[in-house]
Amino acid sequence: MKIQAIQGFKDILPGESVCWQHIERIARDVFHRFGFSEIRLPMMEETELFARSIGQATDIVEKEMYTFADKGITLRPEATASLLRAFIEHSLHLLQPVQKLYTIGPMFRHERPQKGRLRQFHQLDAEIIGAEEPEVDAELIAMADMIVAELGIRTSLEINSLGCPVCRPAFRQQLVAYLRRYTNELCPDCRRRTGSNPLRVLDCKNPNCRKLVADSPSILDFLCPDCGSHFEAVGRSLERLEVDFTVNRFMVRGLDYYTRTTFEFIAADLGAQSAVGAGGRYDGLIEQLGGPPLSGIGFALGMERLVLLMQQRITARFAPPVRLDVFVAALGREAAGHSQVLVHHLRRQGLKAAMDHGGRSLKAQLKQAGRFDARYALIIGDNELERKSAVLRNMTDQQQTPFPLNLDAAEESRRLALLIQPTD
C-alpha cells in the first residue's frame, strides 16, 4: 500500500522551501527593525483556551478545530490565543510594559482544502501587548505592510472598527432587527448566524446575502466617542506613515475577541482566498483569559498565500534550491581522498562545496556540477595530484585556469576561498 500525505497537509519540497526561507528572512528582519522579539510556542493547548478566546460561536471553534476529545487538547488554529496564554503564564508584562512579540509556525484548521487553503498552514504572527494608542495600531499595520512590500507583493489594505463592549451591543441589536426582516432570503448559515454571531453575516460570501446587507446599519455610525476618535486617529496615523487604506464597514473577523481596529490585506491575484493577512485589536481579551487588564493588537499573515503570490511573480529566482560555489570533480582514488578533505575545509571557509563519491567520469561529474548550478568546478585527477596542479573551471564562461596544489587541504581551501569569494 502506498502511503501518501493526508488531505490538506502539504510537503514543502526543496525547490519551494527556498521561497519560504526568503519570506521568513524578510519577515524576521522587519520584525527586528520594529523591535519585536521572537516567542516560540507549543502547537497544542487546552481546548478551553481557544473556546474562551476565539469564541464558542465561531466557525473555527464550532467546526474547524482538531481536538483530541479524550484529552481535552487541541492543535492550535491560530497563534494569538497561545501567545497570550504564554504571556500571562510567564508574567511577561513585568519585564517590559509594552511587549512586542512575533512567532512563526504551523496552524491547523479542518477546512475544505483548495488553492490557498490548507488544513495545516503557516502564519507569521505579530502582537503588541500593553499599548492602546491608535498610533500603535498604525505602526503594527505599517509593519505588515512593509513585510508584504519588501516581498514584492501588491496588496490593498482595508480597515474597520468593530467598536467595544460599550457601543457594539446597540449596533448588534439594530443589525439583528434588520436581518430578521430578511430571514427567509438569507443563506442557511446566515440564518443561523443571525442568532449566534450576527456580525459574521456582514462578510458572508454568498452574493444574495451581500446584496441584503448592503443597506444594513453601519457599525461606524454606532461607535462611541472613544472608539470613534480612536478609529479616526488610526486613519490619520496611517496617512502620516504613507500607508494607503480604504475603510470597509462590512469587514468583520471570524474571531470573537476583536475590538475597535480590524484590518485585512487583500491581494487581487489570489482568487477566492484573497486575504493574505488580517488582524485587529483585542482589548479585554487578556483580562478575560485571567491576565492583567492590558490591551493588545496583532496580525497574522498566511505564508502559503505569500508563497503563491511570490511564485506568480518570480519563479526563476528561487531555483535551484542551493547554488554551489564549487563542485570538486575527483578522478581516481588518491584524488578522491584528497578532495574529500579539501571539500570539508572549503565548507569551513564558508563556501558551498560538494563532490561525488561514486567514481564517475569527468563528464558525468561536470553534469552534476551543472545540476547544482555550481559557479566553479575544481577538477582533480590522480595525474593533477602528482603534478600538483588542478584545473579550476569557471562554469559561467568555461574559462579554465590552473590551481596549484600543495597537498595541504586547509591551505588550499583558504587560497580557493580568496579566489572565488563565497556567496551568501
Residues 197/58, Cβ–Cβ less than 8 Å: yes
Q: Where are the alpha helices (DSSP H) in 314-420?
A: 333-348, 362-371, 382-387, 409-420
Cβ neighbours around 66 below 10 Å, total: 15
Vertex 242 angle, CA 237 and 247, to 5°: 65
Whole-number Å distance between alpha carbons of 101 and 41: 11
Residue 109 touching ligand ATP (CB under 6 A): yes
Distance of CA 350 to the CA centre of its chain: 29
Stretch of 45-53, 173-181, 300-308, 349-357 contacting ligand ATP, by CB under 6 A: 300-308
Cβ neighbours around 91 below 10 Å, total: 10
Binding mask 250-269 for ligand ATP (x = CB under 6 A): ----x---------------
- Residue among 16, 24, 111, 334 that touches ligand ATP (CB under 6 A): 111
- Residue among 78, 139, 256, 412 that touches ligand ATP (CB under 6 A): 78
Stretch of 220-228, 229-237, 298-306, 308-316 contacting ligand ATP, by CB under 6 A: 298-306
Cβ proximity to ligand ATP: between 117 and 210 the closer is 117
Burial environment of residue 315 by CB neighbours within 10 A (0 to 12, 13 to 18, 19 or more): exposed
Residue 275 touching ligand ATP (CB under 6 A): yes
Looking at residue 351, what DSSP letter applies?
Answer: -
Considering only CA atoms, give the Rg of the chain.
28
Number of chain positions touching ligand ATP (CB under 6 A) = 18
Pairing of strands 44-46, 73-75: antiparallel
Residue 148 touching ligand ATP (CB under 6 A): no
Residue 201: all three cell numbers together: 453575516
Cβ neighbours around 114 below 10 Å, total: 11
- Residue among 163, 296, 302, 381 that touches ligand ATP (CB under 6 A): 302
Cβ proximity to ligand ATP: between 31 and 403 the closer is 31
Cβ proximity to ligand ATP: between 254 and 381 the closer is 254
Rounded to the nearest whole angstrom, what is the least distance from the CB of residue 197 to ligand ATP in the complex? Answer: 13
Residue 167: all three cell numbers together: 457601543
Q: Identify the H or E element spanning 115.
A: none
Rounded to the nearest whole angstrom, what is the least distance from the CB of residue 380 to ligand ATP in the complex? Answer: 49
Residue 31 touching ligand ATP (CB under 6 A): no
Cβ proximity to ligand ATP: between 128 and 351 the closer is 128
Stretch of 95-103, 187-195, 299-307, 389-397 contacting ligand ATP, by CB under 6 A: 299-307
- Residue among 147, 201, 278, 378 that touches ligand ATP (CB under 6 A): 278
Stretch of 36-44, 302-310, 328-336, 371-379 contacting ligand ATP, by CB under 6 A: 302-310
Q: Which residues pair with 122 in a beta bridge?
A: 106
- Residue among 99, 123, 160, 295 that touches ligand ATP (CB under 6 A): 123
Looking at residue 5, what DSSP letter applies?
Answer: P
Residue 276 touching ligand ATP (CB under 6 A): yes
Burial environment of residue 62 by CB neighbours within 10 A (0 to 12, 13 to 18, 19 or more): middle
Chain residues that interact with ligand ATP, rule: CB under 6 A: 78, 109, 111, 116-118, 121, 123, 254, 273, 275-278, 300, 302, 304-305
